[in-house]
Amino acid sequence: MSIESITNFIQVSGRVASSGQPEERQFKEIALAGYKVVVNLAMANSENAIPEEGNMVAALKMTYIHIPVPFNAPDVDHLKNFIKIMNAISNQKVWVHCVVNYRVSAFLYQYQRLIHGDTAEVARKVMLPTWEPNEVWLNFLAISGDQVNINAEYNNDKKCK
């Protein structure tokens, strides 16, 4: 089994990968592939959630970070938290997942656009190509740097790459 077989896997860069919810056995593959941090954006009660995911990831010598984002209510504070975390771990290989890679697609799109400075067209390449965001997520994708106070709070030289 390889990491490419994980649900909706996307290799965003040499440092960042995204997917839907990995199965328990797939976290070992993630660790073997050199990932040091797992960021989970799904809710603890999401479909296929693994109740002891944090402990399992830690047992594999990876850091586990959980940012629970309600699928129907992502907000600016969730995005600010995600950006702070991604900037703090910018020198490590990171696996970001949710249930099916919709939340993650939107968060990585915003990270690429707001922090890396990518155009919307370029940033869209980190998104799951089959996902059609609904109005809630279109509003999230439209959050601007001013709304997250990007220049005052974040170091703009942090990148997914």
Residues 84-114 pLDDT 10s: 999 999 999 999 999 999 999 999 999 999 9
**H or E stretch at 16:** strand 16-19
Rounded Cα distance between 20 and 105, Å, is 10
Residue reference for tokens 């997250």: 148
- Report pLDDT digits (tens) over 23-37: 999 999 999 999 999
Class for the domain spanning 3-153: alpha beta
Domain boundaries, the chain: 3-153
What pTM, to 2 d.p., does this model score? Answer: 0.93
Q: Which of 79, 93, 80 is nearest to 137 (CA)?
A: 79
Q: Give start and end residues of each alpha helix (H) in 35-75.
A: 53-59
Contacts of 135 (CB under 8 A, 6+ apart): none
